[in-house]
Amino acid sequence: MGTVLQFVVLGLGLGAVYIGLGSGLLLVHRATGMINFAQGAIATWGAYVFAELRNTGTLVFPIGSVDLGEPPSTATSLVIALATAIALGFAVHYLAFRPVRQNSVLAQVVVSVALLITIQALVVLRFGPNKVDVESFVPGGTVTVLGASIPTRELLIALVVVVLAALVWCYLRFTRIGIATRAASENERAAVLMGFSPSWLAAIAQAGAAFVGTVAVILASSLTGLNADYFGLLVIPALAVLLVARLESIPILVVAAIGLGSFQSLIGLLVTQPWWPVWAQSGLDQVIPFAVVMVILFVTGNRLPTRGSTQQIRLPDVPIPRMRPVVAIGLLVAAGVALALTEGTIRFGLTTSLILSLLALSYVVLTGYLGQISLAQSAFAGAAGFVLSKASVDWGVPFPVSMILCALLATALGMLVALPAFRIRGAQLAIVTLAAGLGIERFIFNNYSLSPPEGNPIADASLFGLDLAVREGRDLSRLSFSLMVLVIVAIVVWIFVRVASGDMGRAFLAVRANERAAESSGINVRRTKVIGFALSAFIAGIAGCLIGFSRGQLSAESFTVMAGLQLLAVAYLGGITTIGGSLVAGLIGPLGISYVLMRGFLDLGEYYELVLGLALILTAILNPVGIAGATHHQIEFIRRKLARRRADAAPPVDVALREEPTRV
Amino acid sequence: MSDTHGLYARELTVRYGGLVANSAVSITVRPGEIVGLIGPNGAGKTTFVDALTGFTPMTGEITLDGRAIDALPPHERRAAGLSRTWQSGELFGNLSTTENLLVATRRAGWTALARDVFGRHRRTGREVVDAALEMVGLVDVADTLARDLSLGQQKLVGVARAAAGGCTVLLLDEPAAGLDSMESRALALRLRSIADAGPGILLIDHDMSLVLNVCDRVTVLEFGKQIFTGDPGAARSDPRVVAAYLGTPTEVGHV
Amino acid sequence: MSDPSPVLSVDGLTAGYNGVPAIRDLSFAVRPGEVVALLGPNGAGKTTSLLAMVGLIPLLGGEVQVFGAPLGRRRPHQLARSGLLLVPDDRGLFPALSIREHMRLAATKRDPRHEQEVLEKFPALLDLGSRRSGLLSGGEQQMLAIAKALLARPKVLIVDEMSLGLAPKIVQDLLPMIGNLARADGIGVVLVEQHIELALSVADRGIVVSHGRAVLASDASALLADRDLVEEAYFGTGRFADPEPVGDPA
């Protein structure tokens, strides 16, 4: 019993982070209706600033730094770090959130994901990838309860953060601005009519959220050390806690956060028990909370508050694709020639780009066409790759049956994830799928009993005696493999075009545009969603298998949550509504050809994430149709200009005809 | 024609929390007939259509051609032949006019997926769509994106989408709102010709002149209660109806 | 009364959505202490014109002057702070907030005496301070909406569809009170109503809007005297009937 209590208290450090991030997320959601996926990253930046001040006496900015000589005192450092966090909060509001407040939910999710990528990349660039020690200024010690020595530091940290959460609660309940923030979240127009500026309310909320989160991360990282990836992604469990608190109750949030932190700590105790199954030693701390959140959401999902908006939000256009054999063959030949003329890392980069464009295409189906936001696509891909290693090596299933089988398994997973989409949509669906992705990552890819550290080898493909292996001797990128990828990508794209231009594609677009209008037009919205998730996961699964073949083994790092977010980023950047967009996404995607060139020739590989994140923020704000869409618009513009010139030459007969009133 | 043809709603009641939005409203719409549903703003007209089409929980009985449909989800009611339009248009903005109608005439599902991939893309159904466009006079804008249409055209596309592929009863929620008087008058003629071709129409509108000119019967709601059902001419002179719309000349003058 | 300059003047206002006007060429002015009723059936464009007056949607044409200065680049919340108050047709309440919290938001600076004065006009609200507005009856909600607007010391008060969903008795109590307040405190009031009789009984002038245009404007007493004329304007019959559509074979 004493040990249990000890572990519960040890979990308070984690719980404190969830409270800090969660109450900030709640504040921001109240003020803007948006979910800030970068909340953890922002807080991590603030914590790094503090650590760096105390450790080296350097005040680090995103660009440049000031050497203060002697490290300033703890209090001074704390004040500077928190001031930085507040400034960052304001910057986040005015530079990223405010510009997209009237945009679609997708643009809002993308902006905050882009912020996450950008700030994470900045942290690594400015502070280095290694774990940093953070000064513990909270007095330590132990008390003995039930025969176990309980650390007091965790208790004090939790207390500080709970007090901060209580202050947030008081702000929302008792101050005029706080009441206005709640008011605006219920009826923004009415708040404006009472003289409140929603933008100002939101800016204050962002600053407050950054402050509370940073305090929590500074305190918690003094227990474990500071690590960008780890703390940045703690936003995911914090988001789960936020959903449990129904995005509005701070008391529930505090209880759920402490519960989750302690539970995860207790799991750590449980898995060391001799009777605990080995396969379940890793990842359960992520999977079980996710399952709990799923159940809670499924029961209460349609009662979750969403902010009504009076504005009609215009979604990016979706051109319905046509079969254009000449273009298709031209592209195929061009790609084939490019693959044949290159070799080594360049050819491998091109091949990776082809595969990435499939992953991006899975986003086109789900997000571009069906309008659902899923952040679990890379997990679907990874799951297919994982089973592929079992199927190809342990069970000896031949290619291409193995690949299709594994893609079908990803399909099944996708259909499962479609279930919450019955009840929730938009950013909340993004949260759930993100949590699902994290669960799959921790439980399967990072689980040594399922994915041994020496790797999950994947047998090379061969078809009718044709060797389709990616490597042979010193040739790291064989042409036959690249051509196989090209053929598979072509087939999948062909399937996509068939569906997108057919009855299902139209049904997808109808559901995206307006669910209830679709329903009243006789469309079974739930079934349509399941089919969309299935198709999208199938495509992701094929891509996952190809990634597996190209590496010769399942490489967990290709399928992490961060990799998935980067994929959403490039898919959106390329253009999330078109095939052209997914091809562009492939070219600029992580480890694709642009990355290879950036690293190989410009030596800028380490800036890849930063450039990606910044480009994405700009795209989401300025140009929601992505690079391919923008090009398309320009082509249309030129075409229309040419057409007008031709029309000027001829007398405008049809115009007169059209304006005749229609008679009955 | 047997008695059960058309839409029969008996004693529909809708409650939102403590508020009774519809209180035991009954209505009958037979094929070929235009029934008007009118009442001041907030009287519960749209709620009634939502209840009929399955978008809000209600109690009461609804039959369509003799078949009970009150337990079906919205898309199945549409398939059964009960079609509706929306006050705010609710077109699929970035689909063309034709495609808006095709959505309503093609079934989406696993078989549709398989047919899309492996089968021939069907050209059938286009005739139905063309016929519906012909009916509302929108052949000219068949390939225009719905959101580029004028408001009047959007309303008509909504009507055509609801009617496309056939339906037994058409529920039109304020098709004339926002139209100018010319457009509104043209709409009346369209509606008459649609009803003459078969389906019954339940027309909700505020435009009294439209409703009174085109309807065979009218039902008037006030505060969720049915205060009048009968001949349009009688409605115009019924004191309760006039009072509901304009307010009674009361003792307010003394204040 | 002398003829003070208008607090709100609307000149040729044209406004709508996606570039399509829902109201065209509307003109009128409101002076302090004056009540103007904007009447017409639903969909006539009344609400659209109000939203344009308070800056919530852009003007497609014409000009609006508030307190003698054009709307210009002033944003809706700035206009509200300067004393242009709109009570929208959804009443502009926050269902989860209590009456007291609404009061707190409405008063720019705390002034218990003023607060008391306003509340005394709505005795029904006095005992309900901690109740959430979502739990109030329709009449109480409307009272709260108006009380909230008055607390902000408006110079121009625009009330959209006050009678919406209210029993006639309540409207009969509330509307005259607004008229009296306007005259007592010199507030310029615009009432948008479907309920013609009541609105005209408290208004100085009435404007009937139909299909996006003002079709009739006159003194309230004149309109009240010729009830048939108003009805015809309202329903588009009699003297306001549309011309037969061109080319109609029938």
Each residue of C53-89: b (16+ CB within 10 Å) or e? bbbbbebbebebbbbeeebeebebbebbbbbbbbbbb
What string of DSSP letters covers B140-178? GGTTSBGGGS-HHHHHHHHHHHHHTT--SEEEEESTTTT
Min mean pLDDT across A295-299, B88-92, C94-98 is at A295-299
Which stretches of A187-249 are DSSP H helices? Answer: 188-193, 198-224, 228-233, 235-244
Give the span between the Cα atoms of A114 and A609, in whole angstroms. 10
| pLDDT computed for residue A543 by the predictor | 94
Q: Are B189 and B11 in contact (CB under 8 A)?
A: no
ipTM of the predicted structure? 0.88
Which one is predicted more confidently, A39 or B151? A39
**Which residue pairs, CB below 8 angstroms and at least 24 apart, start in C217-221?**
C217/C28, C220/C37
- For chain A, the residues whose C-beta falls within 8 A of a C-beta of chain C are 176, 179-180, 182-183, 186-187, 189-197, 312, 661, 663-664
Assigned token pair, C37: 């009723």
pLDDT of res. A311: 40
The CATH code of domain A325-624 reads 1.10.3470
Q: Are the beta carbons of C88 and A196 separated by less than 8 Å?
A: no
Q: Is A111 helix (H, G, I), strand (E, B) or coil?
A: helix
What class is the B82-167 domain?
Answer: alpha beta
Structure-model confidence comparison of residues A227 and A283, the more confident one: A227
**Among A109, A247, A17, which residue's Cα sits nearest to residue A624?**
A109
Q: Which pLDDT tens digit goes with each residue over A116-150?
A: 999 999 999 999 888 888 888 888 888 888 778 88
DSSP state of C246: T
Q: Does A521 touch chain B (CB under 8 A)?
A: yes
**Residue of A210, A225, A174, A200 whose CA lies nearest to A88:** A210
Answer whether C83 touches A (CB < 8 Å): no
Closest CA to B31 of B135, B175, B170, B162: B170
Interface of B with C (CB under 8 A): 40-42, 147, 150-151, 174, 176-182, 184-186, 189, 206-209, 223, 245-250, 252-253, 255
User: What are the tokens at B123?
Assistant: 């050209």
For residues A336 and A354, give the distance between their C-alpha atoms in angstroms, rounded to a whole number: 11
Predicted local distance difference test score (pLDDT) of residue A89: 95
CB-CB under 8 Å, C97 with A182: yes
Q: Which residues pair with A554 in a beta bridge?
A: A456
To 10 degrees, the CA torsion angle through A551, A553, A554, A559?
Answer: -10
Show Cβ contacts of residue C60 under 8 Å, excluding neighbours closer than 6 positions: C14, C15, C16, C19, C21
Using CA atoms, how far residue A355 sits from A240, A324, A330, A553, A590, in Å, is 32, 22, 19, 16, 11
pLDDT category of residue A561 using cuts at 50, 70 and 90 = confident
Residue from B168, B211, B170 nearest B188 by CA: B211
Instruction: List the single best residue of B92, B129, B155, B187 to mutate versus A (max A Cβ within 10 A).
Output: B92
The string of pLDDT tens digits covering residues A601-638 is: 776 777 888 888 888 888 877 766 666 666 666 676 66
Q: Alpha carbon of A363 to those of A321, A568, A586, B110, C179: distances in Å?
A: 16, 7, 12, 20, 59
- Residue A306: predicted pLDDT: 54
Tell me whether A502 touches chain B (CB under 8 Å).
Answer: yes
Average pLDDT over residues A385-409: 84
How many A×B Cβ pairs under 8 Å? Answer: 121
Residue listed under structure tokens 């700009």: A618
CA distances from A158 to A4, A50, A75 (A): 18, 19, 20
Which of A324, A352, A333, A386 has the alpha carbon at shortest distance from A545?
A386
In eight-state DSSP terms, residue C98 is: B
Res. A78 pLDDT band, cuts 50 70 90? very high
Encode burial over C7-21: b for 16+ CB neighbours within 10 A, e otherwise. bbbbeebbbbeeeeb
Other beta carbons within 10 angstroms of residue A398's beta carbon come to 13
Answer whether A517 sits within 8 Å of B99, measured CB to CB: no
- Is A186 within 8 Å of C105 when comparing Cβ atoms? no
Cα distance between residue A540 and residue A313, in whole Å: 29
The two three-digit tokens of residue A200, written as one number: 């100002």
Buried b (16+ CB within 10 A) or exposed e, A104-126: bbbbbbbbbbbbbbbbbbbbbeb
Does B106 contact chain A (CB < 8 Å)? yes
Considering only residues A591 and A450, tell me which one the structure prediction assigns the higher pLDDT: A591
Calculate mean pLDDT across residues C48-70: 90
Residue A16 confidence (pLDDT) above 70: yes
- Tokens, residue A654: 């049809």
User: How confident is the model over B72-78, as a mean pLDDT?
Assistant: 92
Class of domain A2-270: mainly alpha
Phi, psi of A463 (to 5 degrees): -140, 120
Residue A301 identity (one-letter amino acid): G
Chain A residues whose CB is inside 8 A of the C101 CB are 179, 183
From C106, C247, C249, residue closest to A194, measured CB to CB: C106
Give the Å distances, CA to CA, from A321 to A152, A210, A221, A369, A648: 63, 44, 51, 12, 30
Do A193 and C85 make contact, defined as CB atoms within 8 angstroms?
yes
CB–CB contact C168 B151 (8 Å): no
Distance of CA A499 to the CA centre of its chain: 26
Which stretch of DSSP H or E encloses residue A66? strand A65-67
> In this model, does residue A214 exceed pLDDT 80?
yes
For C92, nearest residue in chain A (alpha carbons): A190
What torsion do the CA atoms of B161, B165, B171, B176 make, to the nearest 10 degrees? 40
pTM of the model: 0.84
Half-sphere exposure of residue C75, counting CA atoms within 13 Å on the CB side?
11
Q: How far is it, in rounded angstroms, from Cα B186 to Cα B136?
A: 10
CA A299 vs CA A260, A303, C212: distances in Å:
19, 9, 46
Q: Which amino acid is at A243?
A: L
- pLDDT: which is higher, A359 or A637: A359
Residues of A in contact with C56 (CB under 8 A): 189, 192-193
How confident is the model over B18-52, as pLDDT tens digits? 678 888 999 999 999 999 998 877 788 889 999 99
CA dist C20 and B150 (Å) reads 8
Q: Does B65 touch chain A (CB under 8 A)?
A: no
The verdict on a CB contact (< 8 Å) between C77 and A664 is no
The answer to whether B184 and B97 have CB atoms below 8 angstroms apart is no
Residue A183 has its nearest CB partner, among C97, C108, C152, at C97
Least confident of A12-21, A115-124, B182-191, C8-17: B182-191
Question: What DSSP line would sit under A344-404, residue for residue?
Answer: HHHHHHHHHHHHHHHHHHHHIIIIIIS----S-HHHHHHHHHHHHHIIIIIS-PPTTHHHH
> Between helices A152-174 and A176-186, what is the axis angle to 10°?
80
Report the 10 Å Cβ neighbour count for A232. Answer: 26
* B135 or A217, which is more confident: A217
* In the predicted structure, residue A257 carries a pLDDT above the cut 80: yes
Q: Phi/psi at B9 (nearest 5 deg)?
A: -115, 130
Please give the residue that has the higher pLDDT: either C214 or A653.
C214
B79 within 8 A of B36, measured Cβ to Cβ: no
Chain C residues in contact with B206 by the CB 8 A cut-off are: 41-43
Residues of chain B above pLDDT 70, percent: 91
Q: Which two tokens stand for residue A322?
A: 């046509």
Provide the pLDDT for residue B127.
Answer: 82
- Strands C188-193 and C156-160 come out as parallel
pLDDT score, position C247: 39
**Segments making up each domain of chain B, as ranges:** 82-167
- Dihedral (Cα; C212, C213, C216, C219), 10-degree rounding: 90
pLDDT, tens only, B201-220: 999 987 777 888 889 999 99
The answer for residues whose C-beta is within 8 angstroms of residue A392's C-beta and 6 or more apart is A399, A402, A458, A459
All residues of chain C having their beta carbon less than 8 Å from the beta carbon of residue A193 are 54, 56, 76-77, 80, 85-86, 88, 92
Q: Give me the residues paired with residue B22 across strands.
A: B14
Q: Is there a contact between A513 and B94 if contact means CB atoms under 8 Å apart? A: yes
- Among the partner-chain residues C77, C90, C148, the one whose CB lies closest to the CB of A192 is C77
Which residues in C lie closer than 8 A to residue A187 (C-beta atoms)? 90, 92-94
What would the two tokens of residue A366 be? 């789900």
The encoded tokens of residue A457 equal: 């080898």
pLDDT on residue A467: 74
Q: From CA A549, how far away is CA A462, in angstroms rounded?
A: 11
The answer to whether the Cβ–Cβ distance between C152 and A194 falls below 8 Å is: yes
Tokens 């060797």 correspond to what residue? A467
pLDDT value at residue B61: 93
Q: Give the span between the Cα atoms of A63 and A125, in whole angstroms.
A: 10
Q: What is the mean pLDDT of residues B154-171?
A: 88
